[in-house]
Structure 1
Amino acid sequence: MSRPKVPSQAAPDLSIGLGDNVGLHPAGYNEPTISTNPTQMRHSQDGERELIETMSRFRTSPIDFLREVSLHVSGTGWRGYDRIVGQPIFYPGFSEEMKAKVVANPMLQAKIKELALRRIDVEEREGLLYTKDVSMDVKKERRRRDLEGSLLEVSESIIDDMICKMDSKRFIRGAYYFITQLLTRAYHQGIHVSSEEVLRLHAVAEQAERKKQSIIFLPSHRSHVDYVSMQIICYRLGLGLPTVVAGDNLNFPIVGPFLQHAGAMWIRRSFGDDQLYSTLVQAYIDTLLKGGYNFECFIEGGRSRTGKLLPPKFGILGFLLESLFSGRVEDAIICPVSTQYDKVIEVDSYISELLGQPKKKENLADFVSGGSSILSLKLGRVDVRFHEPFSLREFINDQFAKQERIPSQIPTTEDWTKDSKLRLLRSLGYKVLSDINDVSVVMPTALIGTVILTLRGRGVGRSELVRRVDWLRERVISRGGRVAHFAGLPTETVVQRGLEVLGPKLVGTVQGLPEETYFAVDRFQLSFYRNMTIHLFILEALLSAALYLKVKVGGSPESQRMSYPQLRDQVFFLSQLFRGEFIFPPEGLTVNLEKALHSLQADNVVTLTMSTPSSSDDTTHTQPKVEFVELSSTERDSGRENYDFYCFLIWPFIEASWLGAISLLMLTPPFHHTGDLWLDMKSLQDSAQLLGKTLYHQGDLSYFEAVNKETLKNAYTRFEEEGIIVVSKSRDKRVDDTVKLASDWLPQRDTYTGALIPGGKLWSFAETISSSRREGKNRRDGATVATRVLKLVEMVGRELYDDMKGKMEKERIDVRPSEESAGRAIETAKRRRRKIVQTTGAGGGSKL
């Protein structure tokens, strides 16, 4: 039996005893053990701790159950939450004090006066203030006081709905017990943390408490369980619970008040132009950071439906930075956090959304159970990892020094331009995402899902699955990734447990064969777990997909050899295509390409042919360069299994981008249409999904995952940035964004038949993407593809156009933007295109 290697010097376990006693003791367990003592926690040999003790069940152990309840009710030891590290919270009157501080905020008071005066100016111009009995000055003063009073009342009401209400210690004790009862039933293997990381966090918290600074937790977001697990960890470690930014879509009966009293801060999903509301949010954040209260928001905004990190959202980050820019807050500590799951409760609903089903409104049943009975789930474990915290002030100063090249100067508010603030926001957002990836743990279910989806054939035998899981585990570690510890168990056992967690709805078993054989039942849902590993191999995956231009030709090794310039150009193209889809290392294309090449060479996947300096060259100064890249003889002999692994990782995303590009042909105006053709973006994306499903079932699309909504939306964002499409707001409030093809990307039609001609910039762009797609028997004849796919695009596009025309006539919906909005959108697209050409010297975007 295969057994994973165990580090010779394991990190020490964390001992969290009664009260706030935190200490170290040597690791001494080869397998997880469950203590019968409820004050102890489960240990592992590599320094991980199961943070929540097993909760007794009344039916199985009524005495222990009653003892646990008694300890929580009385607040014995750490359960009392009496001696926390951080600023005082959970005492009577806490929320009223916070509310009073926010209302008294000078910035808010100034905004209320400003809005009142602006309203008075409007009323004066419209003649609404004129009276015979009272002078204008007196009338304006009275009106000002009335308006300010009204705005203050509105502000107090909004604040009361918004702020967290940490008033009752008895409540938080009960909440901890209730939530851990639920979690230990759903995630039966518990919540695991790293002993070294939580000790470091504890030390940082003690220092922040002395300086009265906030710790800003910035976690990844895959599940509603994310913020619950974070609160549990802070409670169990005796740290001040953070105030958590949460969308008010979760503020529904029972759940909303419960979360608000446990630390939730409710905000609208969109602020619009509401200046008072924006100022209130800023004032509340200022109050929290000035007081040194811990804070938490999700760097991705919403939950990731695909399993990988989403691009950063800059709304709340902007408020945090503004607190420091303004000087109202001296400093705060940033702590990126990764939360990983063996299985995510909500994945079923995610898949429905990605396939185009309307998002269900949040409700109590779905919130608690995720569509399943939480009392009977066995979802494995949760792993939470904390990156090394860093000073936000030091980060700002360092970024200013890099941008302005003035290392000795400490920037003031006036030193920052709007553009430099935006660059700082992007730098902070992507740094946090990179830090999260650095500490993320690859779970056994992710290893299994990745292996099953990156093997050729209908299924995989048990021994082969175990072998490839071991191989993948080693590759993850070799690239600096982390794998959830196997606790000294043989890989066969770990795989079996992982398969049990995934369940037969995701991975099926073929019965009656000499060897157990597994197959993907739901590839779409299983891709969620595969996407948890892709960030570790994205460079190698892009390089392998680029090399596929030659590999798919077949024949002799020489015919599959690719020149370095050709490889570099295709990798460059693909990296631009996915620049918003993945988090790339910051070193740039050349360095990253070299790293990926040498990584694949070290794994014996490719062979590099290096240049030989001529005799006339000064060889002391000339370094050999890569001339050609090809698959190694070892890789060919093994059936390309490792090379295929990297291709299978990226192919679904290439397919989605190709589908997105092909779907843009639907924006070509019909044969007899005159004038610009603007269509509703949402309708276009829905039609693109319908097109993709049809292409998949007809064999022209290899991966059903390619029709997922999020990846298509990301592709359209790239196309807008490239200037291929122009996006503008509609003049009709019932329609959001409208879209049309940029004039220089419009395809041509046959003057006699009216059929689309497979040529032009857009077709060439789609063909360049297609050259790295997985070869299929339906796609080997380019002429047939052009005819069949174009006919289908025409059919779906005509239905889209007819549907939109019908809405315009029957429902009086006008999707066109105003002339002013359209003009701005067109100029923006042109400006973006010019900037891209100037930056890259070609039709490209940003590099790897």
Structure 2
Amino acid sequence: METLPREDGEIIKGEEILPKNRLEDLKSGSLLKPHKDTKPTRRKQVLGQSTYSTIDLVPELAKFKTSPPLMTSYKKHYRPFMGRACPRCSQHSRELLYHKDIPEMGIFSVSSPPRKGLLGRLFPYSHYVYTMRNNCVYADPKGMIADAVQNKRVQRAIHRSAMNDSDGAKNEETYQRSAHKHEGRALYVIKRMSATIMNVTLRITGYLILRILSFLVDGIHMHRGQAEMVRQAAKRDVPIILVPLHRSHLDYLLMSLTLFINEVPCPFIAAGDNLNIPVLGWWFRQIGAFFIKRKLDKVVGKKDFVYRAALHTYMEQILMRNQNMEFFIGAIADAYILPASVSYEKIIEGNFVSEQMGYSKKKESIFSPIIGLWNAFHSSFGHIRVNFAQPFSLKEYLESAQRVVPIQSELSMKPRLEKAISDNSLYGTDVVLEDQRQLIRGLGEHIILDSQDASSIMSTNLLSFLLLTKHRRGTTMKQLQTDFDIVKEEVTQEGGTSASPVRPPTSSNMP
């Protein structure tokens, strides 16, 4: 057996380290002489029982021999916790709902029910949904409708529309008849857009979503720390306005599902009227969807004051009752803004790609979801990641935004082109002042940035990035895998967010 000398007088025999005082015994061969084994339990081996004596390890090196060394790999990076509130605009909110243990809470699977007990093993999804402790109290829809109709804003809109119809109220009888017509229309509009959230419907919907998605996707994941911040915000008796990035119709359902599982009241969802189809439209109302028009005015250039006032007032009534909402409105004392996003490895319906290419949105029908679901069962859609950014106070943001805006005179301001009609308000520039419009626009861009910052970059995103940049002319699978790992490490080092641009692999950093 080969022996290797060391500077301190010790020698290494194979993988064993012998002290200096046993060097002479090794040279004389006394250590290799057979003798009676006094510790048979230690000498048993696979091919028999050894007759050689035991060589004790040096105590200082015993731990090194039995456990691997601690080494820091320059390639090992962990994705930091994303989605913190802006330190400039929401400094108080940034520290209010966050503590040092949140980043270490890890990721959990929303779609994997815990199989506890006999019923949990036999009926995992039914037992999972039934045992959820989310029994929130939601606002009475009849009370909201009555208060919305009697609201001063709606009454002023009715009066204004009646005055326009009666040509300046020259005829009192015509005015009364027109006012009665617009009042009935306001009641019809509010009833048509109103929603009713029922816990029973939420549980049934949750079961159906989990059961169907178990056949389509590999898992739905989210961070426990993000869910904890949302739970803490929900306990502060302040409404939460959920503003997610929209990629799929599944976003509505996934947001409500994840909030319901984490014991947070589900939001009232502002949905397009293209989803108000028979059967499914009624079901969507039962889980919180209220339908609004994509175009608020029937005739271009002529504002529908009644519909605008009814929509504005109904959303205001939701927030005044401390109900969460998936939209934006600003006529209350304060609210928590919750940016969110859903990342897909593959989007289940194919409308997102065509809409991004400029095609118009298609009108939904009762057969559309059936056909889409049938086609979906013949494919695999990978993983889904639901991300919530840190909620921040709307009041705090508005106060900080007004402080940082520099005061300029009209003479010092540069000339700029103004929009004829605002795309951020229900009323346009004739009611909302220019500085308020810019403030709302800034808030919207800030929410988009926070939502994007909290988003997860999926494997399909990285693969598409490589094929569109470095490998436009093709490559081998081995090279593609190598480049994929390099880009993944760079994304992790940059923070795992698309807000920080990822440099494509070049020949200088390729192995």
Matched with 1:766 is none
Q: Distance in 2 between matches of 1:462 and 1:70?
A: 42
Q: Which residue of 1 aligns with 2:144?
A: 98
Alpha carbons of structure 1 residues 402 and 369: separation in structure 2 relative to 1, 3 Å: farther
**Aligned partner of 2:259 among 234, 237, 247:** 234
Aligned residue number for residue 479 of structure 1 = 494
Q: Distance in 2 between matches of 1:479 and 1:398?
A: 28
Q: What is the correspondence of 1:39-54 to structure 2 with a 5 Å cutoff?
A: 47-54=106-113
Give the 3-state SS of the residue equivalent to 2:405 in structure 1. helix
CA 264–190 in structure 1, closer or farther in 2 if over 3 Å, else same: same
Moved more, 112-121 or 149-158: 112-121
Distance 2:403 2:79 in 1: 42
Distance 1:68-1:3 versus aligned 2 partners, 3 A rule: farther
Contact 2:483 2:510 in 1 (8 A): no
Of the three residues 346, 349, 366, the one matched with 1:346 is 349
Residue by residue over 1:649-675, the C-alpha shift from the partner in whole angstroms, topping out at 9 and shown as x without a partner, is xxxxxxxxxxxxxxxxxxxxxxxxxxx
Is the aligned partner of 1:292 residue 2:322? yes
Q: Structure 1 pair 372/206, CA: closer, same or farther in 2 (3 Å)?
A: same
How big is the shift at 1:356?
7.0
Amino acid at match of 1:342: E
- Is residue 417 of structure 2 the alignment partner of residue 364 of structure 1? no
- 1:192 to partner: Cα distance: 1.0
**Counterpart in the other structure of 1:281:** 311
Residue 189 of structure 2 is aligned to residue 162 of structure 1: no
Count of residues in correspondence between the two structures: 393
**Aligned counterpart for 1:243 among listed residues 247, 265, 268:** 268
The DSSP-based 3-state class of the residue aligned with 1:198 is helix
**Per-residue deviation, 1:403:** 2.5
- CA distance in 1 between counterparts of 2:178 and 2:261 reads 47
| Partners of 1:368 and 1:374 within 8 A in 2 | no
Aligned partner of 2:76 in structure 1 is 5
Deviation at 1:237, TM superposition (A): 0.9
Asked if 2 retains the 8 angstrom alpha-carbon contact of 1:7 and 1:46, the reply is no
Give the structure 2 partner of residue 845 of structure 1.
none
Offset of 1:275 from its aligned partner?
0.8
C-alpha distance 479-3 of structure 1, shift in aligned 2 (>3 A): closer
Matches of 1:422 and 1:378 in 2, distance apart? 44
The whole-number CA distance in structure 2 between the counterparts of 1:387 and 1:536 is 16
TM-superposition CA deviations, 1:17-39 (whole Å, max 9, x none): xxxxxxx9x99xxxxxxxxxxxx
The answer to whether the aligner puts 1:431 opposite 2:446 as a matched pair is yes
Taking the aligned partners of 2:397 and 2:176, their CA distance within structure 1 comes to: 43
Paired residue for 1:77?
131
Mapped contact 1:54–1:184 kept (Cα < 8 A): no
- The answer to whether the aligner puts 1:422 opposite 2:425 as a matched pair is no
* TM value normalised by structure 1: 0.42
Extract unaligned runs of 5+ from structure 1.
12-23, 28-43, 57-61, 130-139, 298-316, 324-328, 407-415, 483-532, 542-604, 606-634, 643-848
Deviations 1:228-287 (A, max 9, x none): 110001111111111111110111112211111111110001012111100001101111
Aligned pair partner of 1:114 in 160, 167, 170 = 160
Shift of residue 53 of structure 1? 2.3
Find the counterpart in structure 2 of residue 218 from structure 1: 243
* Kept after mapping to 2: 8 A contact 1:10/1:47: no
Q: 1:10 to 1:215 in 2, by over 3 A?
A: closer
Following superposition of structure 1 onto structure 2, how do residues 461-610 of structure 1 map, counting pairs within 5 Å? Answer: 461-482=476-497, 533=498, 535-537=499-501
CA distance in structure 2 between the aligned counterparts of 1:66 and 1:101, rounded to whole angstroms: 48
SS at match of 2:166: helix
**3-state secondary structure, aligned to 1:447:** helix
- Provide the residue aligned with 1:193 in structure 2: 222
8 Å CA contact retained: 2:343, 2:458: yes
* Equivalent residue number for residue 262 of structure 1: 287
The DSSP-based 3-state class of the residue aligned with 1:442 is coil
Q: Report the alpha carbon displacement of residue 440 of structure 1 after superposing the two structures with TM.
A: 1.2
Deviation at 1:358, TM superposition (A): 6.2
**1:286 and 1:357, CA in 2 relative to 1: closer, same or farther beyond 3 A?**
closer
Whether the 8 Å contact between 1:244 and 1:265 is mirrored in structure 2 is yes
SS in 2 for 1:445: helix
Report the Cα offset of residue 462 of structure 1: 2.5
| Cα distance change on mapping 1:352 and 1:121 into 2, 3 Å | closer
Measured after TM superposition, the shift of residue 436 of structure 1 is 1.4
Q: 2:123 aligns with which of 51, 64, 67?
A: 67
Q: Give, in whole Å, the separation in 2 of the partners of 1:390 and 1:223.
A: 25
Match for 1:81: what amino acid?
N
* Residues 338 and 350 of structure 1: CA distance in aligned 2, closer, same or farther (over 3 Å): closer
Q: Aligned partners of 1:479 and 1:6: how far apart in 2?
A: 10
Identity fraction in percent = 25
Cα distance in 1 between the residues matched to 2:262 and 2:215: 22
Q: Which amino acid aligns with 2:220?
A: I
Does the residue aligned with 1:460 lie in a helix, a strand or coil? coil
Q: By how many angstroms is 1:453 displaced? A: 2.3
Secondary structure, in 3 states, of the residue corresponding to 1:373?
Answer: helix
Structure 1 residue aligned with 2:475 = 460
- Residue 381 of structure 1 and its aligned partner are, at CA, apart by 1.4
Letter of the 1:282 partner, please give it. Answer: H
Q: After superposition, give the CA deviation of every residue in 1:272-303 in whole Å (9 maximum; x if it has no partner).
A: 21111000011011111211110103xxxxxx
Counterparts in 2 of 1:120 and 1:442: CA distance versus 1, 3 Å: same
Instruction: Measure the CA separation in 2 of the matches of 1:219 and 1:148.
Output: 39
Q: Which has the higher contact order (CA 8 A, sep 6+)?
A: 2
> Helix, strand or coil: the match of 2:291?
strand
**Residue in structure 2 matched with residue 331 of structure 1 by the alignment:** 334
Letter in structure 2 aligned against 1:477: T
Cα shift readout 1:654-708 (whole Å, capped 9, x = no counterpart): xxxxxxxxxxxxxxxxxxxxxxxxxxxxxxxxxxxxxxxxxxxxxxxxxxxxxxx
Which structure would you say has the larger Rg?
2
Give the C-alpha shift of residue 404 in structure 1: 5.3
Report deviation, 1:176: 1.5
**Inter-CA distance 353–465: structure 2 relative to 1 (3 Å threshold):** same
Q: Distance in 2 between matches of 1:449 and 1:163?
A: 41
Do the aligned partners of 1:451 and 1:469 also contact (CA within 8 Å) in 2? yes
Superposition deviation, residue 46 in structure 1: 7.1
Higher fraction of helix: 1
| Structure 2: distance between partners of 1:119 and 1:443 | 55
Partner of 2:418: none
Equivalence for 1:678:
none
Query: CA separation in 1, counterparts of 2:461 and 2:495?
Result: 16
Q: Which residue of 2 aligns with 1:449?
A: 464
**Matching residue of 2:397:** 395
Shift of 1:330: 0.6
Secondary structure of the 2:473 match is coil
User: What does the per-residue CA deviation read over 1:735-780, in whole Å, with 9 as the maximum and x for residues that have no partner?
Assistant: xxxxxxxxxxxxxxxxxxxxxxxxxxxxxxxxxxxxxxxxxxxxxx
SS in 1 for 2:123: helix
> Pairwise CA RMSD of aligned residues?
3.5
Cα deviation for residue 55 of structure 1 reads 9.9
Distance 1:397 1:201 in 2: 23
Retained in 2: the 8 A contact 1:185–1:374?
A: no
User: Where in structure 2 are there 5+ consecutive unaligned residues?
Assistant: 1-72, 83-98, 298-302, 409-430
